[in-house]
Structure 1
Amino acid sequence: MELAPITAALADKLTEYGDALVVITPRIAVAVVVVLITWGVTSLARALVRRLGKRFHLRPNLVDVLAMIAGVGLWLVGILLALTVVFPSITPGKALTTLGLGSVAIGFAFKDTFENFLAGILILLREPFRIGDHIECDDVEGQVEEITIRDSHVRQTDGQRVVVPNHILFQNAVVVRTDRDLRRTTIICGVAYGEDVDAARSIIEHAVTRVDTVRDDVKDVEVFAQAFGASSVDFEVTWWTGSRPIDIRRSRDQVIASVKRALDDAGIEIPFPYRTLTFKEPLDLKAEALQSREAQRA
């Protein structure tokens, strides 16, 4: 007797659900159509962005970012429209308000992630450096191998890979060593005080210009007497060569060898440091030598 009211109430609820399902089914169908249209429009938009990126020779990573942003924006609009169709009480204004509050909470929770994301987009748009460039930033120096939305991969000269968050590259000064094909390098060369300074300068300059890696056809070789050293007159020798680190090391090696050979051939001394020792009391060198021999015999 007591089960009858419960059964009747359950039947009424099922009937209400069935009626509601019949009413909402067309709306669900329309929402599915909206989602399918959104999917098609998003695919076309991404394809269009990639085609335009190739036409304007944009970075592949930047093209992927632009395609992703276009896809996310279109999907957001499509989902909001589908929700509005299925649930008429949910207006676009209410949905955007809820989405905004949720975005604020997510933004606080993933602050560093979004910071790197925005920095990555700005780096890809501004292109302060390219893949293959040698850069230095915040004690990290090496060749850029990959630039992603979150971080950049730098291969150091010792072979190790460093993953640098993009906000570090965006907020700190970055030295791009291969921004141009040529880079200036300098060495210091000293000659003895007894040598002719003008003659030594001419010999050094001629020796540097004979090196193949020295680009004296673009920039002149510069040799200046810089300072009076402890045991030599020091020359500052400056020339231009390739901008890669290996170019700098190779050219420096060849220039040093050429200058050394030229000065030796000319009989110009490259001195080593001299040291003068003074003693408070006179030394008896004969007594010292005798004591040393006795110590050796013992």
Structure 2
Amino acid sequence: MFSQIDYQVTSMWQSFVSSIPVIVIAIIVLLVTGLIAGSAAKIADKLTGKTELRPSLKTLIETLVKLAIWLFGVMLAAIIVFPDLTPGSLFAGLGIGAVAIGFAFQDIFENFLAGVLIMLREKMRIGDFIACEGISGKVEHITLRETHIRAGSGELTVVPNSILFKNPVEILTDVEQRCHSVVVGVSYDADLDKAAEVIRKAVERVDAVDVGKGIDVFANEFNSSSVDFLVRWWAGSSPADELASRDKVVRAIKQALDSAGIEIPFPYVTHTFKHSVPIES
């Protein structure tokens, strides 16, 4: 029994020693593959840097170039270590293995494919402000698995790409300007035509507003203590531009209505009084 074990151990050791040169060659192949992949990525970066491709698409091209070179290098190293392997059998094995790995790492591959498709499509570029599934902010970085979104208050949210691909994404900065709105209430005693004209002229004087795209002032609703106007204007599309233009518009409207003697009423509140002691009949 011990002689059989000794024979097996000796055979395994001799087989390992005899395969050391092959293993060394395979390691050298992998090291050369790494150097070639790095150089190819730099070349791809220089070539794409001269084009007008989006940064996310440039990253995708560099990643695919490195992935293709590494795949070829690993296959070559495997054939060197295992001479019985052929490219056909290796591809067949990779196919079966890919199915098994796909089931085991379904979420990872889903995010990977979503990342590729996000990088290929024209919309949602780095620097855009977006909102999706309660997450909003500026797109800082897009990788093949996740997207980094920086909120206006500074927090960074790392979002799996599958969420951004499968759900509706609102791109706030898809164009340079978008329409903003605010509700302004005036008293029931006010002349509505005059109030609308005062509001319109006040908004027109705001420098952040694009007057050429028009300003809308609609009598919109009968409220409890006021008649409400819906005021709409066009200004910068980023959240910071929206806040800045809204601030100026609200200030201008308030000042104009005060100067015209038009009241902006307080909301009417109904108070209910409760007696602490029952009233005797």
Paired residue type of 2:213? K
Paired residue type of 2:263? E
- Tell me if 1:211 matches 2:206: yes
| Cα distance, 1:94 vs structure 2 | 1.2
Extract unaligned runs of 5+ from structure 2: 274-281
Instruction: Kindly indicate whether the alpha-carbon contact (under 8 Å) linking 1:135 and 1:176 is maintained by their aligned counterparts in 2.
Output: yes
Match of 2:51 among 49, 53, 56: 56
CA offsets, 1:162-214, max 9 Å, x none? 11111101111111111111121111112222222211111111111111211
Paired residue type of 1:148? T
| Cα distance, 1:44 vs structure 2 | 5.3
Instruction: Kindly indicate whether the alpha-carbon contact (under 8 Å) linking 1:144 and 1:152 is maintained by their aligned counterparts in 2.
Output: yes
Q: Which residue of 1 aligns with 2:254?
A: 260
Of 30-39 and 175-184, deviating more is: 30-39
Q: Which residue of 2 aligns with 1:191?
A: 186
Q: Which residue of 2 aligns with 1:234?
A: 228
- Aligned equivalents of 1:262, 1:185: Cα separation in 2: 20
| Cα distance, 1:33 vs structure 2 | 8.7
- Aligned equivalents of 1:125, 1:145: Cα separation in 2: 17
Q: Considering only aligned residues, what root-mean-square deviation do their CA atoms show, in Å?
A: 3.5
Match of 1:272 among 266, 273, 277: 266
| Cα distance, 1:89 vs structure 2 | 2.7
| Cα distance, 1:43 vs structure 2 | 5.1
Instruction: Kindly indicate whether the alpha-carbon contact (under 8 Å) linking 1:156 and 1:162 is maintained by their aligned counterparts in 2.
Output: yes
What does 1:1-298 correspond to in 2, within 5 Å? 42=37, 45-84=40-79, 87-216=82-211, 218-274=212-268
TM-score by length of 1: 0.76
SS for the counterpart of 1:75 is helix
What is the count of residue pairs matched by the alignment?
267
| Cα distance, 1:49 vs structure 2 | 2.2
The alpha-carbon distance between structure 1 residues 32 and 138, as it changes in their structure 2 partners (threshold 3 A), is closer
Instruction: Kindly indicate whether the alpha-carbon contact (under 8 Å) linking 1:53 and 1:59 is maintained by their aligned counterparts in 2.
Output: no
Instruction: Kindly indicate whether the alpha-carbon contact (under 8 Å) linking 1:183 and 1:240 is maintained by their aligned counterparts in 2.
Output: yes
SS for the counterpart of 1:153 is strand
| Cα distance, 1:141 vs structure 2 | 0.9
The alpha-carbon distance between structure 1 residues 100 and 266, as it changes in their structure 2 partners (threshold 3 A), is same
TM-score by length of 2: 0.80
Percent same amino acid among aligned pairs? 46
SS for the counterpart of 1:56 is coil
Q: Which residue of 2 aligns with 1:295?
A: none
Instruction: Kindly indicate whether the alpha-carbon contact (under 8 Å) linking 1:213 and 1:251 is maintained by their aligned counterparts in 2.
Output: yes
Extract unaligned runs of 5+ from structure 1: 280-298
